[in-house]
Amino acid sequence: MHLFVGLGNPGPRYAYNRHNIGWIALDEIVELFRFQPWRQKFQGLIAEGTLGGEKVLALKPQTFMNESGRSVGEAVRFFKIPVDRVVVFYDELDLAPGKVRVKQGGGAGGHNGIRSIDRHIGPDYWRVRLGIGHPGDKARVHGYVLSDFAKADEAWLDPLIEAVADSAPMLALDAPDKFMSRVALDMSRVGE
């Protein structure tokens, strides 16, 4: 079993924030692959499904971002999921909008949700970093990530979310390089 986690903040006020791109991606995966309906558990919402023949538990922590690790830790311990089978989708300021990078382990890079997960399960899980771009000034970062995507962002955001969802089975099949290549190829066709 894999645990796919989407990071975001709960509530309608945050639903379309840049900081919630992890939730947006996970929602698309759950819908595309017809997972079971969301239900409450582990201080979050969970849905079960299958990707590439592998059982996947989708989790959207309902704590605020900086406490996401509590929810993730509970699910990991309950299901005895090895940390290297945990995949976390989240926003990345240091990647251009529409770019994706996957890696196992590493630092939190200033991301409070990642820092919280590190505290609860250690750093050796897989990270799917979804580029949202940087506002250009460090003082503007907080407001930027907590603001909604602009209408113009839909030109790259919608294709990115579709590409990530379409390629998600590769993550369940432990093929992160193929996942990244496929998403990059799909994104290279945007606007053709």
Question: CA dihedral in degrees (9, 107, 150, 31; nearest 10)?
Answer: -60
Which residues participate in catalysis according to the annotation? Answer: 19
For 107, the 3-state DSSP assignment is coil
What is the dihedral sign for C-alpha 139, 126, 26, 66? negative
Which H helix or E strand runs over 103?
strand 100-104
Which H helix or E strand runs over 131?
strand 126-131
The vertex-101 CA angle with 171 and 40, nearest 5°, equals 55
Residue by residue, DSSP assigns 5-33 as: EE----SGGGTTBGGGHHHHHHHHHHHHT
Is-contact 55 1, C-beta < 8 A? yes
